[in-house]
Amino acid sequence: MDFNAWRRRRISEPAYRWARNALPAMSATEREAIEAGDTWWDADLFTGNPDWRKLLDVPAATLTRDEQAFIDGPVAQLCAMLDEWDITWNRRDLPPQVWAFLKAQRFFGMIIPRRYGGLGFSPYAHSEVVRRISAYSITAGVTVMVPNSLGPGELLMQFGTPAQRDYWLPRLADGREVPCFGLTSPEAGSDAASMVDTGVVCRQVVDGRELIGIRLNWHKRYITLGPVATVLGLAFKMSDPDGILGGPKDIGISVALVPTEAPGVEIGRRHLPAMQVFQNGPNTGRDVFVPLDALIGGEARAGQGWKMLMSALAAGRGISLPSLSAAAAVMCAHTTGMYARVREQFGIPVGKFEGVQEQLAQLAGNAYMVEAARRLTCAALNQDVKPAVVSGIMKYHATERMRSSVNAAMDVHAGRAVMDGPSNYLGGLYRAVPIAITVEGANILTRNLIIFGQGAIRAHPYLMPEMLALANPDEERGIEVFHDVFWRHLRHAGKNTLRAIGRAWTGAVLAPSPVSGPTAGHYRRLGRYASGFALLADATLAQLGGGLKRREMISARLGDILSELYLLSAVLKRWEDEGRKHDDLPLVHWCMEQGYASIEKSLDQVLRNLPGRVLAWGLRAAILPLRLARGPNDALTRECAELLLKPSPTHVRLAADLHREPGNAPSAGVLLGDVRAGGDPLGELTRAFALVDAVQPIRDRLRQSGVRDWREAHQRGAITDAQAAQLEAAEALVSKVLQVDDFAPADLSPQAADAPTTAAGRNANPGADPGPDHGA
């Protein structure tokens, strides 16, 4: 017997039989979710030895001339039409002229190819449009986002028949049809297998002809655009109890297009999600008959609905909410930095207090990282990759960093952000955070079950082939494949173990870096953590096997490590793509140091909680002999905070084209909340920020000479008339910026239906204190 045959008989076959018995059965929905989409940079990270040159060679996401023209034209025009206060508190909807504009300019057809009348935009252009609109209005951003994400358009392009595409796509592109998608029901949220919405194959006479079709009964909720939709993409469990189609009786989850005017459809009532007024509501269907060709993809796609949905979600989840989150993170950093500069307590800007600087550094780091990750993910999507695991990472971590950014911004603004009204540019965003956290895969589910649970199987170089071999009904063939993959896996694990130990014990000095200079050490250190992660993942999977599914906290922490590796890769990629700007290095270093601390914390928590303590001790000695990462130091934190407190090219880059130049008229560069009714609070803040910075040298000179009152200095001739005018203008504008809204009691009464809630009360008492603030 040769050595290979001996290995197979003595090692591979027993391992195969043990693994086959230990591995829990995988449901059809689980398998379809895992197999959906593609692997990408996540797979490189899972090898334990990522090819950094491959990452840097990915073309940066850019806009075509037509895409840029659309942003400079229709997007800017749309943003100039949006008044979020009026939309939210007066209309509870977008104005009719905005709906008409969205349809006329084909905003709902951004992803639809031009041959069908759509705009045919790249994923990056789609993301940019959503990001910029969301910076003005969450309501408008969500309204544009949904038809271009998971819904009939995406499903038709991927799976529709030619006849379905020819009929529906032009109508969706020009707004004749407004789509929505019905998946969630009271009984089935994340667990699609528990769906009770049904579709029974039957025969029915329609207009004198007997047709084979589907009788649908459903109850859906949380459906965005549902109350105004004309066509509903519906997920349901399909069955053929009478054997009309000649196949199985239980066909499985399927997807059909249902006109909302069809008899039996009840639609139009609205939910009010956290006081956000984008159209969202429940709908039901009772004995609704649709012909068989209403199935997306026709009869051939019957029972493939879950796979279709997961495939569509693999792309859309990486665009929609990450784009909104990037806008929010940038907006919070930009406005909070300006506010912390112009708001003074005890004679100094509040941004100079170290407690506030800690929040500012977090805001700057979040803004830089989320935008970096958005661009990298869009670069993958632009290459026709549908990175399912990366999309899950982006959905969870972009929205969580949105949450932390909004909270930090609220803390620094204090009473200025608490008092609602047209001049409050944070209140609506604060209320929107729970929605982003919850939709497109609740964050708890995404972190605990999806990121590592799906990532380990899809992105691991050998685990998926091993699982497929174990599931092969032909045992002989399964053993043959398993034997080959199993030994390649062992060789890989052995090399990675030596690599992880070497990098951990030498400080990764010999790990590869594709660049030289100030970021080279970051590539080496990430390489060290990648090899440690790969070793820990292999060891955890070997010890827990299918039981890892029930050890959700361990799975979540492993997912956190994979996520941090991806996000930190994006930070390094952004710095290279933007031309290695030296002034941006504090942001890069802050993100990296914060990420290292998070990775080491997660490594430590996994090692503390692995049930096999001897294995855990050995792994700790191999990959985390010392826990050295402590996060950014105070000096780096102060340096990042200062980047938000003064105008600079870095400040502009961090704003990512969502800033406004002082003195400009409203344009596409205005951030969220450009309020027509109550003036322009963000324009005023931007002008105050610029003026305060401009007069600071005068104030410094006066302070050094012992003069605290510039008016006294002016009377003594210590400053010129022009300088006095500058100081007076800055003081007046800062005073205006600090004011909050107040209202007549009738304006806030539900009975005062005829009294519009406007900004009439704003600055009614210019001397009033702006409300609770920091004090110290």
Cα 142 from Cα 394, distance rounded (Å): 17
Q: CA of 177: how far to CAs of 97, 155, 229, in Å?
A: 17, 15, 7
- Is there a catalytic annotation at residue 440? yes
Torsion sign, CA atoms 454, 460, 463, 469? positive
Angstrom distances, CA of residue 710 to CA of 93, 344, 697: 48, 16, 12
What is the DSSP secondary structure assignment for residue 12, as one 8-state letter? I
What pairing do the DSSP bridges indicate for beta strands 209-224 and 265-267? unpaired
Q: Which CA distances in Å does 656 have to 128, 351, 772?
A: 10, 22, 31
Residue in the structure block whose two tokens are 């459903």: 218
d(CA 723, CA 710) in angstroms, rounded, equals 9
> In the numeric block, which tokens belong to residue 708?
């605290």
Query: What radius of gyration, in Å, describes the C-alpha atoms of the chain?
Result: 29
The phi and psi torsions of 236 (rounded to 5 degrees) equal: -155, 165
CB atoms within 10 A of CB 480: 16
Coil, helix or strand at residue 181: strand
Helix residue ranges per DSSP H, 296-426 = 305-316, 320-342, 354-382, 388-413, 415-418
DSSP string, 516-564: -STTHHHHHHHHHHHHHHHHHHHHHHHHHGGGGGG-HHHHHHHHHHHHH
Residues 262 and 291: their CA atoms lie apart, in Å, by 12
Q: Answer whether 112's CB lies under 8 Å from 118's CB.
A: yes
Residues 517, 521, 527: CA angle, nearest 5 degrees: 135
Query: Which residue is listed with tokens 């792994």?
Result: 619
30, 128, 371, 440: the active-site residue: 440
Judged by phi (left if over 0) then psi (alpha if -120 to 50, else beta), residue 76 lies in alpha
Residues tagged active-site = 440
